[in-house]
Structure 1
Amino acid sequence: MRPSKSKPKLLVFDFDNTIVDISHPCRCATKKTVEFFLGRLLGDAPFAKVNGHCIPDFYERSDQLLQEQGSSFRKDAIIKKFQEYYVGRNYNGYILDEQCLLKEGILKKLKKHKLVIISDRPIREALFVLKRFNIDSFFDEVVGNEMPGEGPSKKDNLLKLLQNFKGTKKETVYISGNPAGISLSHELHLPFIGIVPPSFDRQSFKGRMVDEGANLILDQIQDIPKIF
């Protein structure tokens, strides 16, 4: 099932590595988190290839790296410390190193559609990022997760959006730089457009999305207006 050529009513965007590039700041927060729990510096080498599709992935990477060093800590403690480094005090942490991928000029070309965001982050955090890049006014709704790493599933939040906008699945397209969204889109019978995040190898990432059944894959999110 490919996205319909007719103009869809509802474009649902994932947040991490779709709206913003999180790879570098998350890698930095992972390093700080691991070193905090170990009580020593590790240098950059163990973290050079650390990557993930969303912030919860980096909670897992932090946990894995600690276990590789022979240490084990409670998951909630790891998440809390990671967030302290990432968000900081009054949003002065590594979150300020995020890069905007879906910029104002592109969003203006999509203004005829309903644009919504489904995020793994608390709503306040997501809104801070959107306002920082002056793109918050383009989105009709932002659904977040107030319990990082836990809370409602993406499926529940996506169904909530469909109900809020009284949209049918035929009128909705899910757009994400996270391959995990493909199985969800298939489960809900939604067209899925994959976006290759800038921090991932293009060919291998596209190959994975093809294998998992993405309806369409774009090299960059700036190409979205060409589809709609």
Structure 2
Amino acid sequence: MMTLSVLTAAIAPGIALLSYFYLKDRYDSEPIGMVIRVFMFGALLVFPIMMLQRALVLGFGENPFVFSFLFSSGIEELLKWFVVYYVIYKHVEFDEPYDGIVYAVAVSLGFATVENVIYSLLNFTSFSNLLMRALLPVSGHALFGVMMGYHLGRAKFQPSSEKKHLLFSVGLPVFFHGVFDYIILVSKSNWMWLMLPLMIFLWIMGLWKVKHANARSPFRAVRREDEIKI
């Protein structure tokens, strides 16, 4: 019974955050089957990434800066980006800028959910610890996904600046994920004083990107015309 409770507590934050960002799609919701498929792709990334990170740490050591920005954020965000780019970017369902956010958040939370389950089963101490992980690593992955998806949406629907936004779509998540990990690794006692303003900033920026991605939807004008006719 305890194991089931821990599993539920570990899985729930990822599902809740994915539902939140999915429902933020105001004009043309994505097929739920496609979203679940991308979520599962993210989940499948966990084990190869863990093995690769372990091999790199054993081979090159665990320098906090190198681990945070290369072995952790670099590998994780780059592989999540490849999934979204090669599976979704040219797909017919990616038909408005906000779709990039939906799919990037889905792959990010697939990864974060499995990672959270593994951590919870191996290192469970209390449910307050699981709550802290929901507020920090899991929501962090979601917000890195928002950054990635926003710029993928800009890249696809603004061909004149595609290369710039493709670079931002991987560069920004890698940078902020690296900052997140570096704070945890280096600031042993006062890390929360650095993490709190970072998370507030990420949420403010994430919600801004959600709003502006929706505002760029080509279906927005169609919705307004339908409302006027009604």
Tell me whether the two structures share a fold, i.e. TM-score over 0.5.
no
Q: Which has more strand, going by share of residues? A: 1
State the TM-score, normalizing by the size of structure 2: 0.29
State the TM-score, normalizing by the size of structure 1: 0.29
Q: Which has more helix, going by share of residues? A: 2
